[in-house]
Structure 1
Amino acid sequence: MLVPLNWLKEYVNINEEIRSFTERLTMSGSNVEGIEELGKDIENVIIGRIEKIEKHSDADKLLVVQVNTGSKNIQVVTGATNIREKDLIPVALDGAVIHGGKKISSTKYRGVDSNGMLCSAKELGLDDHGLPEDMQNGILILPPDAPLGKDIKDYINLEDTVIDFEITPNRPDCLSIVGMARETAAAYKLELKIPSIILKEEARENAKDLARITIEARDLCKRYVARIIKDVKIEPSPLWMQRRLQACGVRPINNIVDITNYVMLELGQPLHAFDYDKLEGHSIIVRRGRDSENMVTLDGVARTLSSDMLVIADINKPVAIAGVMGGEESEIGPSTKCILLESANFAGPSIRRTSRKLGLRSEASMRFEKGLDPNICSTAADRACQLIEELGAGKVVKGYIDVYPEKVNPGKIVFRPERINRALGTKIPESEMIDILERLEIKIQKTPDGMFALIPTFRADIAKEADLVEEVGRIYGYDRLPSTLPQGDVTQGRLQTSQKLADTIKQVLTGHGYSEIYTYSFVSPGVFDRINTPSDSPLRQVITLMNPLGEEQSVMRTTLIPNMLDVVGYNLNQKIEEIRLFETGSVYIPKELPLTELPHESKKLAIGLSGKVLDFYELKKTIETLFAKLRIEHYTFEQYQHFAFHPGRCARVMIDEEELGIVGEIHPDVLENYDIDTRVYIAQLDMDLLIKKASTDIKFSALPRFPASDRDLAIIVEDRVPARDIIQVIKEAGGELVENVELFDIYRGDQIQRGFKSMAFSITYRAKDRTLTDEEVNAVHDRVRTKLVEKFNGTLRE
C-alpha cells in the first residue's frame, strides 16, 4: 500500500521525522518496505501568466512569449502550440531544476534571448495520462484561479514522501489512507480526523424512483448501495487529485473515474460508475454468470463467463464482472450525462477465483479478495458524491438504494487485562489497555458478567481473546516487552525409531554420492502413458483434484517413477554425465472412486542412476548396502517383468517372502517418451516395509580364532537358474562350516552350450572351535559339489 505522507497528514497531525515515523509504524505491525521522495529535485519553478505571444523572427516553429512571474516579466522562447495569452502555466526560471535533475539556464534561440522554460506535465514529474490531448503534447495549462508567482511544488503538492507499507492479508482495513491514519493515530496517541460528509443533493428526483437493485446471489453479495448523479460533466480531474492518484500508483482517467479511485484509496472501498442510460431497464441484477455467457470488459477483451463467477447485469446482459472489471458497453465516456454509482460488498473467495480464472487483477479485486466491511459501503458512496459536488462534476440525486439482506454487527470478545499481561509478560495498567484498544476503535463494555471488547466490523481479523493480546502488545510496542523465559512442564523431544531409520537411509544414500530430490505429489494423467502403464493397471486409479493449478498437476501420483524420470531427464539436458538421485515421498492409492474416505498413503523410496560407468549392479549394490546398514538379512532379488522396465533387466526385491519393490533398467520405449537417449536405472521400494523389516538390535561376536579355508568351484547350469538358488544349496550342503559364498564370475561363450552358463563361486569354510583339516574341508566341499550336480543337473568345471 503506497501512502503519500501529505495525504496522511490530512487525517492525523503527524510531524515526526520520516525515519523515526516508519520505525514506529513497523514496530506496531505495519512493516515499511520502502520510502520514495517525490518532487524533491524540482527547484525554482513558479506559476506564471502569459502576457504576450509573438512569432520568432527567424524560426517558423518557435514562439517568443512574455511571461509575468508576479514580480517581473521574463522572455521565453518555446515551440509549444497549445498556449494562449492569459494562460497560467508553470515556468522554470533561470537556474531552475526540473524533473530528472535537469538544470535550466538562460540561452539564445536564433539570436533571441530565452530566460526560462515553460514546463509540460512530464517535466514536473507528472503522469499526463489524465490530461487533455493538447497538454499531453504541450505545456501544462493551470486553472484560472492558480495563484500567480506561487511555487509550483506548493500548488500541486509536487514534493511528497510516499511510504510503501506491506499489508498482511488479514488487514484489508489498512489498504486505505484512513486505515493507515488510524494505525498512526493509535501508535502516537493522536486524534484521528475523519472527513465529514455533507451532501447538497441538488437533483430533484429520488434514487429509488430511478433504478431497481436485485441481489440474486445473496451468498456472494452481502450489500449493494447505489447512488445516481445527473448532469454529469466528463473532464479531467483537478491536478491535486491526479497527483495523489499518481503517488499511489493509480493512473488518472477522468473526473468521475478518478473520484471512484480516490475514494477507494482513501476509505478502502472500491466503487464503480455505470453509464445510467446504457443500463437496460435501469436495473442492476447481482447474479451468477451463465456458462458460455460473453461480455467485453473495459480493456477491450472479450471474456467468456461461467456459473461460478459473480456478475453485475441489467435485465438483458452482464455489464460488469463483480469486483474485478466493468464492461465496455456501460463505460463512462465523454457523452455520459447520468451515472449509477455502485458501492457493494462481494465475497472474497468468489472474487479471488474469478480474478485468477480470467487472469485479471486490479486494485479493486485485490481489496475484495481479502474481505471488506459491508458497513462502509454507504459511507464510500456518499464520499464520492461529495467530491462530485465539490468538483462540479454533476448533481447528486436525493437518497440512495441500499440492499442489505443480513446486517453485519460488531463482534464481542471477553476482555481480561490480567490474561493479557500474563501472555505478554508485562504489567500494563488496565486503563492503558483500554486506551490502546479504544484508539483502535475497539470499545470496552463493562457488565456484571465482566468486561467485553466490542470489535468494529472493519476488523474481521479479531476473533478471539488472543487477538486482543496482539493488539495491545503491538501498540504498546514490541520493543518495550520484557524478555522472559517460558514457564511450564518441558518434555524432551526425540525422534521415533521410524524417523531415525528414515534418516539412516538418507545418510547411507548421500554417503554413496546420491542427491536427494523433492517433487510434486500432483502429476499429469499423461505420465501413465509415458511409462507404458496398461489400461487396466491399478496405478491408473488416481485421485483427481477438484481445483488443479493446471492439467500438468491435476491428479495425485500413485508411483514415483515418472517424477524420477523427469528429474533425470532434466539433469541429462544440463549435460550432467553421472546422475545419482533419490527421493522419499508418498503415493496415494484410493480405496474406491469416487472418494468416500481418505486414500491409503504409502511412503516410497525411489533411487535413480544414469551414467557411462553405472549399471544395474551398481544400483543392486546400493540396495544391498542399505540392507546391511539396516541389518536386513533374508532378502532376495527375483527376475521380474514390469511394463516400465527392460525385459530381462528387471528384478523384484523380496524380504521374508514380502515384496519390497522393483529394481531395473528402464525400457527404451519409456526413455524415448522422456527424450532420454542413455540408459537409466531406477528402483522403487516400499519405505514402510523397509523400515518395518529393519533391525536396531546390534549383536557382537568375537573375531574368529581359527583360520579359514577357501575353495572355488564352477558349475555349468541352464540360463534360467539364478545364482541365489545355487548359493542356497551350497549353504545347506556345507552346513555350519560354510562361512561365506560369493559369485565372482559368469561366463557364456563358444565353450559353453547355447542356453547354458558357467557360474564360479568362492566358498569360505571355517569352524568356530578348531582348525579344519584338509580332509574335513575336502569332504564337505565334495558334498557341496555332489548336491549341486543333483539339484541343478549341472556339470562341474575342472
Structure 2
Amino acid sequence: MKITYRWLKEFIDVRLPPETLAHKLTMAGIEVKAVVACGEDSVFEIEITSNRPDWLSIAGIAREVSAITGIALKKRVPQPLSFVKSQYYSECPVSIEDPSGCSVYTACLIEGVKVQPSPGWLKDRLEMVGCRSINNVVDITNYVLFELGEPLHAFDADMLAGPSIIVRRARSSEKLVTIDGQERVLDPGILVIADCKKPVALAGIMGGRESEVSGQTRNILLEAAIFDPLVIRRGRQALGIQSEASYRFERGIDPAILEPAALRAARMIIDLAGGKPVCARRSGTLRYRPRTLSFDLSKNSSILGMDISQRQARTVFTNLGFEVSAQRKGCLNVTVPSHRPDIKEEIDLTEELARITGYDKVPVSLPRLVIQKEAVVKKDPIRFIKSILVGLGLEEVITYSIISRQTLQDLWFPSGEAVRLANPLNKEQDILRPTLIPSLTECVAYNLRQKQESVSIFEIAKTYVREEGQVQERYALAIALCGTRGIWHSKGRLQDAAGLLHLKGITETLLGRLGVKSYSFSRQQNQALIGIFAGSAQIGFLRELPQEVIERFDIKKRQVFVAEIALDNLLCLASDERRFVPLPRYPAITRDISVMVKEEVPAGSLRDTIVRSAGPLLEEAQIIDYYTGKQIEKGFKNITFSCRYRSLERTLTEDEVNPVHRAITEVLIREAQARIR
C-alpha cells in the first residue's frame, strides 16, 4: 500500500521528516519498504500484514502515528447533507435477500452531477498512490477508499431498473459484463448487486459495465456496504478477479467507518461534480459487539520486564482508539474499537503497549537458568523406526497428501471411503490419500527417470479414510524397492536384484528391533498380497505391483515391490523391554541342512519344524541359501538352513549333536516331504 506524506498531514500535524517517520513506523511494526520523493511530497510504500486491515487507509496510519508520537489527530467533522425534492426520483429502495453475505447496505441518490476529468490535485494524489484517474465521480470513490478504507461504488442511476437495489446471490448461469469488459458467468456462490431485472455489480469485487459512470451520466446512486469477508473471497477466487475493494473486504471493514465514508464521498461529489442529494436509504444492521478486556499492569510488567505507568498505558490505548476506564488501582478496563478485530485477549493489549512504547525500550537481560536433573525422555517411536530403516539402507521421502483418485486403481482395497476435497486445485489432486503406495510408486518412477539403478525408499505419513461418516487419520509406513544394486564379493561384483525376500527381511528386522514378539507372514487368497500378522490381527502387507499398474506410472521392464504397515497398530505391539544375554562361555557346533521341497511349502514352516524337533541344544536356525533353477526340479525349491548348537553348561561333543541333527532331518522328510541334498 502507498500513502503520501501531505495526505497524512491532513489527519495529523506531524512534523517529523519523512525518513524519520518511516523509521518510527517500521519500529512499531508497520514496515515501510521505501520512501520516494515525488516533487514536494513523499510517497511511503508500506507492507501491510493480513491481520491489520485498519492500516489499509490514511486514517488508520494516522491513528498509529498519533499513538507513536503522542500528537492528537485533527478533528474532521463532515457537513451533513441537505436533501432536495426530485422530479424524477421519489425513493431508492434497498433490499438485502442474503443477510449472511451483506449485513448493511446504504445507498445515496444524487442527481444532476457533471461527470468530467478530476481536478489536478485529486488526479495527482491518486496517481501517487498507484490509482489511475477515470473521472471525477469514480476518482472520489477511490479517494475515499484510500483515505478511510471503505470501498464505495457509484452506479449510473438511469441505467438501473427502478432505481432499486437488491443484494442477493447470483442465479445459476447468470451473466454480467464487468467494467473490465469481461463477461462473467455466475453461480449461486457469488454475491451480486442487482436491480429488479438483472445483476449490475459483483458485490465487493467489481461493478458492471452497463451501469458504470460515464461522461453521459447525470444521476448516480452511491453505494457503501459491509460484505462478509469469506463470501467475497470465495467469489473473487471463483471468478479469478483481484481488486482494491475485494482486497479490503476480504480482510474485514470497520463497520464504524461506513456512514462517515459514504457522507464524505457524497459531500465531495456535490462539491466537485455539482450534484444534489435526493434521498438516502439503509438496510440491515451492524453486527459488531464491543469487547471489553481487563488489563493488569503488574502482569504486563512481568511479561515485558519493565514498568509502564497507568497514565502512560491509558494514553497509548486512547491514542489507538480504545476506550479506557479505571477498574481499580493497577488495573484498567479497555474496550476494543470496531477497527481492531485482532485484539481478543489481554496479551494482545500487552503487545500493543510494547509495540507503541518501543521494543528497543524493553531491557536486555540473560534468562535465568535453573539446573535440574534431566528427566528420562521416552523414545520417539517414529524417529526410532526411521533410524532403523535408514540403517538398513533405505532413504526417506516426503510426498504430497493430496493425490488423484485415478492412481488408486489396483493399489487400494478400501475398508472405507476416500476423502474428497471440496475445492480441489486440479483433477490430479482431488482426494486425500487413503494409502501411501501410489505416492511411493510415483517417487520410484521419478528416480528411475533420473537413471537411478536401485531405488530403496520409505515414507511415514498420515492416511485418510472416511468411515461411518467420520474422517479417520492414521499413521502408516510404506516401503518401496526396485532395481538392482552392486555388491562386492570375494568372487567379484555381484548384482543383487530387489525382491519380496528383501522386503520381508527389512520388515522382520524392523519388527524384531521394535520388540514385536509374535508375527508371521501369510499369502492371501488372491495370492497377490502377503499379509503381515501380529497374532491373529493383520497389520500390513507385502506385494509385487502388477505390470499393468506400474506401466501407468511409466515404469517399463522393472519389478516394484511395496509394503505398507499400519503404524498405529504396530506401535501398540512394540515393546521397549530388552533382556541382557551374557556372552557364551562354551563354543558352538554348526551343521547345515540342505533340503528340496515343493514351492508352496513356506520356508518359515520348515524353520519352525526344525526348532520344534531339535530340543534345547539348538541355539539358532537360519536360512543361508534359497535357490530355484536348472538344477532343481520344476515346482520345487532348495533351501539351506544353518543350525547352531550350544550348551550353557559344557562343551558339546559330536556324539551329542549328531543324533539331534539326524532327528531333525527325519522329521523334515516325514512331515514336509523334504528331499535331503
Superposed, 1:286-325 pairs within 5 Å as 286-325=167-206
Match of 1:582 among 438, 458, 464: 458
> Which stretch shifts more, 622-631 or 478-487?
478-487
Aligned position for 2:4: 4
Rate the CA distance shift 1:748–1:513 in 2: closer, same or farther, 3 A: closer
Rate the CA distance shift 1:367–1:282 in 2: closer, same or farther, 3 A: same
Aligned position for 1:329: 210
Structure 2 Cα separation of the partners of residues 313 and 492 of structure 1: 71
Structure 1 position 35 matched with structure 2 position 34: yes
* Residue pair 1:560, 1:684 contacting (<8 A) in 2 also: yes
Match of 1:772 among 652, 656, 661: 652
* Residue pair 2:155, 2:222 contacting (<8 A) in 1 also: yes
Aligned position for 1:615: 498
Aligned position for 1:674: 553
Structure 1 Cα separation of the partners of residues 357 and 477 of structure 2: 52
Rate the CA distance shift 1:532–1:469 in 2: closer, same or farther, 3 A: closer
Query: How far off its partner does 1:169 sit?
Result: 2.2
* Residue pair 2:91, 2:279 contacting (<8 A) in 1 also: no
* Residue pair 1:605, 1:686 contacting (<8 A) in 2 also: yes
Query: CA offsets per residue over residues 586-618 of structure 1, 9 Å max, x none?
Result: 2233331xx2xx444322111122333351233
- For 1:660, give the aligned amino acid: I
* Residue pair 1:3, 1:163 contacting (<8 A) in 2 also: yes
- For 1:636, give the aligned amino acid: S
Structure 1 Cα separation of the partners of residues 31 and 536 of structure 2: 61
Rate the CA distance shift 1:194–1:398 in 2: closer, same or farther, 3 A: farther
Structure 1 position 572 matched with structure 2 position 445: no
Rate the CA distance shift 1:205–1:483 in 2: closer, same or farther, 3 A: farther
Match of 2:117 among 236, 246, 251: 236
Q: What's the TM-score, normalizing by structure 1?
A: 0.77
* Residue pair 1:203, 1:395 contacting (<8 A) in 2 also: no
* Residue pair 1:207, 1:400 contacting (<8 A) in 2 also: no
> Which stretch shifts more, 486-495 or 234-243?
486-495
Q: Percent identity?
A: 38
Rate the CA distance shift 1:612–1:251 in 2: closer, same or farther, 3 A: farther
Structure 1 Cα separation of the partners of residues 255 and 87 of structure 2: 23
Aligned length: 663
* Residue pair 2:96, 2:284 contacting (<8 A) in 1 also: no
Query: How far off its partner does 1:721 sit?
Result: 0.6
Q: What's the TM-score, normalizing by structure 2?
A: 0.90
Query: CA offsets per residue over residues 519-571 of structure 1, 9 Å max, x none?
Result: 34333332322x355xxx43462233444444444433321111222333333
Structure 1 Cα separation of the partners of residues 375 and 569 of structure 2: 22
Superposed, 1:449-460 pairs within 5 Å as 451-460=332-341
Superposed, 1:649-688 pairs within 5 Å as 650-677=529-556, 678-688=558-568
* Residue pair 2:588, 2:645 contacting (<8 A) in 1 also: yes
Aligned position for 2:406: 526
Structure 2 Cα separation of the partners of residues 202 and 405 of structure 1: 23
Rate the CA distance shift 1:485–1:398 in 2: closer, same or farther, 3 A: farther
Gaps of 5+ in 1: 40-152, 155-159
Give the secondary-structure state (helix, strand or coil) at the position aligned to 1:611. Answer: strand
Match of 1:604 among 476, 484, 487: 476
> Which stretch shifts more, 485-494 or 733-742?
485-494
* Residue pair 1:285, 1:313 contacting (<8 A) in 2 also: yes
Rate the CA distance shift 1:459–1:500 in 2: closer, same or farther, 3 A: closer
Question: Which entry has the higher C-alpha Rg, 1 or 2?
Answer: 1
Aligned position for 2:488: none
Structure 2 Cα separation of the partners of residues 780 and 503 of structure 1: 44
* Residue pair 1:525, 1:555 contacting (<8 A) in 2 also: yes
Aligned position for 1:87: none
Superposed, 1:527-542 pairs within 5 Å as 527-529=407-409, 531=410, 533=412, 537-539=413-415, 541-542=417-418
Query: CA offsets per residue over residues 372-403 of structure 1, 9 Å max, x none?
Result: 12221221122222322343x23131452222
Query: How far off its partner does 1:30 sit?
Result: 1.6
* Residue pair 2:113, 2:270 contacting (<8 A) in 1 also: no
Give the secondary-structure state (helix, strand or coil) at the position aligned to 2:643. Answer: strand
* Residue pair 1:207, 1:228 contacting (<8 A) in 2 also: no
Rate the CA distance shift 1:274–1:419 in 2: closer, same or farther, 3 A: same
Structure 1 position 282 matched with structure 2 position 163: yes
Rate the CA distance shift 1:349–1:389 in 2: closer, same or farther, 3 A: same
Match of 1:625 among 489, 509, 512: 509
Structure 1 position 563 matched with structure 2 position 439: yes
Query: CA offsets per residue over residues 62-90 of structure 1, 9 Å max, x none?
Result: xxxxxxxxxxxxxxxxxxxxxxxxxxxxx
Query: CA offsets per residue over residues 390-417 of structure 1, 9 Å max, x none?
Result: 43x2313145222243464544333443
C-alpha RMSD over aligned residues: 2.9
Query: How far off its partner does 1:207 sit?
Result: 11
Structure 1 Cα separation of the partners of residues 195 and 462 of structure 2: 51
Give the secondary-structure state (helix, strand or coil) at the position aligned to 2:476. Answer: strand
* Residue pair 2:388, 2:510 contacting (<8 A) in 1 also: yes
Aligned position for 1:725: 605
Structure 2 Cα separation of the partners of residues 591 and 702 of structure 1: 50
Aligned position for 2:672: 792
Query: How far off its partner does 1:503 sit?
Result: 1.2
- For 2:418, give the aligned amino acid: V
Rate the CA distance shift 1:316–1:486 in 2: closer, same or farther, 3 A: farther
Match of 2:146 among 246, 255, 265: 265
Rate the CA distance shift 1:489–1:599 in 2: closer, same or farther, 3 A: farther
Structure 2 Cα separation of the partners of residues 679 and 161 of structure 1: 68
Rate the CA distance shift 1:667–1:463 in 2: closer, same or farther, 3 A: same
Aligned position for 1:22: 22
* Residue pair 2:34, 2:46 contacting (<8 A) in 1 also: no
> Which stretch shifts more, 292-301 or 201-210?
201-210
Structure 2 Cα separation of the partners of residues 454 and 532 of structure 1: 58
Query: How far off its partner does 1:257 sit?
Result: 1.7
Structure 1 Cα separation of the partners of residues 75 and 7 of structure 2: 12
Give the secondary-structure state (helix, strand or coil) at the position aligned to 2:86. Answer: strand
Match of 2:594 among 697, 702, 714: 714
Structure 1 Cα separation of the partners of residues 510 and 88 of structure 2: 80
Rate the CA distance shift 1:611–1:237 in 2: closer, same or farther, 3 A: farther
* Residue pair 2:66, 2:319 contacting (<8 A) in 1 also: yes
Query: CA offsets per residue over residues 149-207 of structure 1, 9 Å max, x none?
Result: xxxx45xxxxx433332222222111101101110111011122254423675865399
Aligned position for 1:374: 255
Query: How far off its partner does 1:250 sit?
Result: 2.1
Rate the CA distance shift 1:13–1:495 in 2: closer, same or farther, 3 A: farther
Match of 2:356 among 475, 480, 505: 475
Structure 1 position 466 matched with structure 2 position 465: no
* Residue pair 1:352, 1:365 contacting (<8 A) in 2 also: yes
* Residue pair 1:207, 1:227 contacting (<8 A) in 2 also: no
Match of 2:419 among 530, 543, 546: 543
Aligned position for 2:292: 412
Structure 2 Cα separation of the partners of residues 349 and 418 of structure 1: 39
Query: CA offsets per residue over residues 457-489 of structure 1, 9 Å max, x none?
Result: 222222333332222221112221234688999
Aligned position for 1:65: none
Aligned position for 1:124: none
Structure 2 Cα separation of the partners of residues 316 and 639 of structure 1: 69
Rate the CA distance shift 1:184–1:491 in 2: closer, same or farther, 3 A: farther
Give the secondary-structure state (helix, strand or coil) at the position aligned to 2:661. Answer: helix
Give the secondary-structure state (helix, strand or coil) at the position aligned to 1:286. Answer: strand
* Residue pair 1:584, 1:603 contacting (<8 A) in 2 also: yes
Rate the CA distance shift 1:779–1:426 in 2: closer, same or farther, 3 A: same
Match of 1:443 among 323, 329, 332: 323
Give the secondary-structure state (helix, strand or coil) at the position aligned to 1:21. Answer: helix
Structure 1 Cα separation of the partners of residues 204 and 285 of structure 2: 19
Structure 1 Cα separation of the partners of residues 373 and 200 of structure 2: 63
Rate the CA distance shift 1:495–1:734 in 2: closer, same or farther, 3 A: same
Aligned position for 1:637: 521
